[in-house]
Amino acid sequence: MRGPGGERQRILDGPAERPVVPTSLQLEPRVGRSLARLRHELIDASGVLRGILEPDGKGLLTDAVGLLERQACRVAVIGQIKAGKSLFINALAQRPGLLPTDVNPWTTAVTHLHFGERSEHDDAAVFRFFTASEWEQLASGGGKLRELTERLVPGFEPDQLRVYVSALKTRAAARLGPDFLRLLGQEHRFAALSPDILAQYVCQGDVGALSAAQQPIGRYSEVTRAADLYLPGGPFGYPFVVIDTPGTNDPFLVRDEITRRCLESADLYVVVLTARQALAASDVALLRILRGLNKERIVVFVNRIDELPDIRRDTDLVIASVRQRLRADLPGPEMPLIAGSAWWGYCALADQGAGFEHCLDSRTVSYLQQMHFLRRDDLIGPAAGDDHARANLRSALSAASGLDQVYDALDELLETSHHGRELRQMTSWLIEMARASEAGSREELESLAQRERQGPAASITQSELSRRRAELQRLQEVSAVIDSSATMFRDRQMEIVASELKALRRKLLRTVHECALIERDALVNDLMTRRSVRTWTYDTDPIRRRLSYEFLDGFRNTETKLMALQQEIMPQLRRLLALLAPTSGSTTEDNFMQRPVPPPVMTPLGATTALDLGESWWAFLFKARPTPMQRGRQLERIFKLEFTRAVDELLDGCQQSLTDHVVVTTEWSFGVCDVIARSIAQRRTQLIRHYETLRDAPADPPTIAAQQSEAASLEERAGQCAALIRRLEQIAHETVSVVPR
């Protein structure tokens, strides 16, 4: 358990040692410092290497730099509606008042906060409106849901959707005038960001005061699809994109679906729960979907402990109960579980005067004292306006807010995430290239020295030249081998992907078929025994769970096979490299060039299906089918249709991402060898040409000075490479030691 507390306590030991500004207010980055350093070094090293390497290798390095520069860690903050996500983000970003917060759910827009990442045109904020077709879909009845119901039962219009959709249209027209449709597809850009601007786009505004078309708050909220805000790094050392989602479990189904759609694209997830109703059934369902994505990338934050009656005791109770339920429902490695209060974090950051006195009710104060965040005499100062005492109070609130633990957890997850692994892998690639380049230079130096020993003109004997030519021939052969092995490697991986996924698809479809029959029989049975079944609804959770377990099983199999193939190929690659540059590959770690398989995207399994629609839908569906058997068959049909579609979508996505993975893996692992081979070949070709010129025009033998300068440049190149290798190895060593394998 990570409750708030622990080390912070020591700050309170002596007044002299207390920082005047709370730790979390200091502007040094809190998350991703070591990866940021690694990334920076890699970009640097790529630049150096690009200067050294032969032209053939430069393309790959340019790609690498581009990849590194575009990298940003995406953190989605998700949770049920009104779990306090926006306030949490404000506190996490250390920017109180950044995102508007309201007591009612407020927006359909997904907000991306880019920290330490510049926008295309250097804008501070970009708001994108729905496109005409998106709006049409939305306004004609909630996109996919409408499509679902239409496809299965033409003519049925879910009341729920109709109510929301007509409200949406009315509001948009009231706020923007009748010609609001021309806004669709546009975007608004701002060079500077202010709360007023933000409020126009992402706030719901006062639903009661719609007539005031001139009221700016929420003016564009109905038509805004996404907001991108560009901010300085703040607590994020590494480029971060924090995604604020509208929230799950929203009766406004459209918003719910928008939230689900942005789950796929994130690297890390912070699931925000409220302490009062921590880990409701729908939270468990959400976590199940996420765990499918990859459990090691989730942080669970139990927010709003400030609302608990007896904060200390109840927090322990809540955490223990959440931990227990997580263990029971989601067995496996544990996720970081942090209790805290974004409100306290906010109060600690809020401007002087406004803010933190509100926090100081008796429950909070006694909690802060119990946890030793605050001493009794700390409470006298703030009332008297004592700056030092206020700072202590801020520090106490900040420590109790749990945000420090969130930073630490994010930092740790970032290290072990895809980003961390990619960066480390790129490090070993760069080291390999530098090694090969160094070895090549040394070899040339060696031959230069030899020539010098033998005297200038005599050195270029016919046998030397033919030896060089043979060497070049061999290099070209090796290149060809690399090419053909790469093709073979890719094809074998593709075969694995295709055959494994085919089997998996068959298995999942069989499960769908089986379950459909079971559900049909259950319904028929129910209808036969209970005389008047007027209402009927269906719980899709069990089938989703079963499918996701089976899918993950199959996915892990595929992953294992792909990794096994990589393992098999690695020694061969290593031998190839050794052929090219004898010193290369001697000290690299075992997982050299091994590329992790990206985690699967499981969202198709979480999408709303027709089976999830309410009572009235089923009543409508069953109205025309009086006999139990007919109803049973109808259920079977819909069940198969919906889940076959989900399985197809799931596997198509999976196939796509694995194919991409295979292509990139092949390109990179063999690409590195290829670059090395080509660059050595190129040097050799140059060398041979040089020898040929010397042979053909012996009248002008190279001067001592020219030879010396050539030797010096080779020496310098080898030295640069060696230095680069040392630096990269040092960094690789430092970052690896942080990460538990």
Partner 1 sequence: MMIEADRLEELLADLWEAQHKLAARVRRVPALDEHLDALARLESIATARPRVIVLGEANAGKTSVANLLLDAAVLPESVVANTRRPLVLHYADAVGVTAMAGHEAIALPIDRIEIAPRLDRIEVGLPNPRLGAFDLMDTPGLSSLTQINALELRSTDMLIWCTVATQAWKESERRLWTSIPARHRRDALLVATHRDALRDNDLRKVRARLAAETQDLFRGIVLVGASGSMGRATDMQPGNGDGELGAAIEKGLRAITKRRHDGVYRVACEIMREAVLLLEHGPRRPLLRLARVTAPSMIPLRAT
Binding site residues, partner 1, CB under 8 A: 80-83, 102-104, 163, 206-208, 249-251, 253, 256, 274-278, 280-282, 304, 307-310, 314, 317-318, 320-321, 534-535, 537-539, 612, 614-616
Q: Report, in Å, the least distance between residue 522 CB and partner 1.
A: 12
C-alpha torsion 676→678→681→687, nearest 10: -90
Question: Minimal distance in Å, beta carbon 256 to partner 1?
Answer: 6
Residue labelled with tokens 């050595």: 680
Cβ 279 to partner 1, closest distance in Å?
9
Q: Which is nearer to partner 1, 189 or 323 (CB)?
A: 323
Q: What is the dihedral of CA 200, 203, 206, 212, to 10 degrees?
A: 20
Measured from the CB of residue 521, what is the shortest distance to partner 1 in angstroms? 17
| Least distance to partner 1, CB of residue 167, Å | 8
Question: Which residue's CB is nearer to partner 1, number 155 or number 309?
Answer: 309
Select 279 or 486, whichever has its Cβ closest to partner 1.
279
**Minimum CB distance to partner 1, residue 391 (Å):** 28
Q: How far is the CB of 366 from partner 1 (least distance, A)?
A: 13
Classify 37 as helix, strand or coil: helix
Instruction: Please check whether residue 230 is in contact with residue 117, taking contact to mean a CB–CB distance below 8 angstroms.
Output: yes
Longest C-alpha distance within the chain, in Å?
111
| Beta bridge partners of residue 248, listed in sequence order | 80
Q: Closest CB to partner 1 among 133 and 321?
A: 321
DSSP string, 201-238: HH----GGGTT-TT--TTTTTTTEEEEEEEE--TTBSS
As measured in angstroms, the least distance from the Cβ of 3 to partner 1 is 15
Q: Which two tokens stand for residue 145?
A: 């849901």
CB of 310 to partner 1, least distance (A): 7
Distance CA 680, CA 600 (A): 39
Given the complex with partner 1, which of 106 and 127 has the nearer CB atom? 106
Taking the C-alpha atoms of residue 249 and residue 243, their distance in angstroms, rounded to an integer, is: 18
Please count the residues of the chain: 741
Q: What Rg do the C-alpha atoms of the chain give, in angstroms?
A: 32
**Is the CB of 314 or the CB of 500 nearer to partner 1?**
314
| Phi, psi (deg, nearest 5) at residue 270 | -110, 115
Of the candidates 80, 73, 72, the residue with the CA atom closest to the CA atom of residue 260: 80
Task: Report the alpha-carbon distance of residue 68 to residue 40 in Å, rounded.
Answer: 9
401, burial (CB in 10 Å: exposed 0-12, middle 13-18, buried 19+): buried
Q: Between 46 and 108, name the residue whose CB sits nearer to partner 1.
A: 108
Spatial CA neighbour of 721 closest among 64, 57, 42, 51:
51
Shortest spacing between CB 282 and partner 1, in angstroms: 5
| Closest alpha carbon to 77 in 258, 209, 259, 331 | 259
In angstroms, the CA 719 to CA 717 distance is 5
State how beta strands 224-231 and 125-129 pair.
antiparallel
Q: In the complex, what is the shortest distance from the CB of residue 378 to partner 1, in angstroms, rounded to a whole number?
A: 25
**Shorter beta-carbon distance to partner 1: residue 66 or 542:** 542
**Cβ closer to partner 1: 258 or 593?**
258
CA distance 617 to 607: 18
Residue 189 or 325 with smaller CB distance to partner 1: 325
Pick 318 or 654: Cβ nearer partner 1? 318
Neighbours of 729 (CB within 10 A): 16
C-beta of 240: minimal distance to partner 1 in Å? 27
CB of 173 to partner 1, least distance (A): 18
- For β-strands 240-244 and 224-231, DSSP reports them as unpaired
Buried b (16+ CB within 10 A) or exposed e, 650-659: bbebbbebbb
Nearer to partner 1, 453 or 531 (CB): 531
Q: Which is nearer to partner 1, 38 or 339 (CB)?
A: 339
Q: How far apart are CA 228 and CA 126, in angstroms?
A: 5
Q: Least distance in Å: CB of 249 to partner 1?
A: 4
Buried b (16+ CB within 10 A) or exposed e, 70-100: ebbbbbbbbbbbbbbbbbbbbbbbbbbebbb
Q: Identify which of residues 277 and 450 has a Cβ nearer to partner 1 in the complex.
A: 277
